[in-house]
Amino acid sequence: MSTEKHPGKRICQIIKLKPEYLEKYKECHQQIWKPVAENLTKYHIEDYSIHYSPQFGILIATMKYTGDNWEKDAEASRNDPGNFEWWQMTDEMQETLVEGSTGSRDEKGWWLNLEEVFRFDH
């Protein structure tokens, strides 16, 4: 397991959304559950947003990680019971692009991480 540090890392991820779940997905994100919101803060996630591309049927998530060990916090988040029921519900609505992944708790990841190739900070 890597102990690489990533202070202030920005993250972008994608996943397919099953089209029949679009409205349900939007509805459940109107009021995310308290343990899920608390875990975002607990694991140093800020400025988190999810966008939907109807043309490609994908969700695009962006966030800023403000901790100093992404791998450690990501693993702790995967094993935090506060996320389990939420992920069970949302995983059903999604189709991963990560080969062989079985769900949000899989070490391979569920959302596909994208490489940042350009950034303009002003």
Domains defined for the chain, CATH in brackets: 9-114 (3.30.70.100)
| pLDDT score of 39 more than 50 | yes
User: Which pLDDT tens digit goes with each residue over 40-96?
Assistant: 999 999 999 999 999 999 999 999 999 999 999 999 999 999 999 999 999 999 999
Indicate the pTM of the whole model. Answer: 0.89
H or E, element range at 38? helix 34-42
> Quick one: CA torsion of 58, 65, 108, 72, rounded to 10 degrees?
-160
